[in-house]
């Protein structure tokens, strides 16, 4: 079975095995889809709390950046590189643990 990013119409995503192509939602029954949605919703408050912690850490970190680093940090693609470069210099393990 192969997965592919786009189907014949350029938008469909799914799986291909021999002659079968289609969206996963076309294969999974509505009951199972509801069960999955309920499980995902149950993690909502926990995910929101983690997002708040990440945002607080983000603000703390950006406050310590100088000039161009602040601007570059605004781009998602630069964040990992900038944080790796700053790790241990601007924010120590103790500071990260307090958040």
The helix-helix angle for 30-42 and 44-64 (nearest 10°) equals: 50
Which is nearest to 21 in space by CA: 39, 38, 8, 34?
Answer: 8
Where residue 88 falls (left for φ over 0; alpha for ψ -120 to 50; beta otherwise) is left
Rounded CA-CA distance 72/83 in Å is: 11
CA angle centred on 54, ends 49 and 55, rounded to 5°: 95
pLDDT at 1 over 50: no
Query: Has residue 92 got a pLDDT over 70?
Result: no
Cα distance between residue 56 and residue 38, in whole Å: 28
Tens digit of pLDDT for each residue in 19-47? Answer: 556 676 777 888 998 998 999 899 999 99
């Amino acid at each position: 079975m192969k997965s592919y990013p786009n189907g014949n119409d350029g938008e469909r995503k799914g799986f291909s095995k021999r002659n079968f192509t289609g969206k996963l939602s076309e294969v999974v029954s509505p009951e199972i889809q509801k069960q999955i949605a309920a499980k995902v919703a149950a993690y909502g408050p926990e995910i929101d709390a983690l997002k708040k912690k990440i945002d607080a850490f983000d603000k703390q970190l950006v406050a310590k950046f100088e000039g161009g680093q602040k601007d570059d940090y605004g781009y998602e693609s630069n964040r990992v590189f900038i944080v790796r470069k700053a790790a241990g210099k601007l924010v120590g393990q103790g500071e990260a643990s307090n958040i």
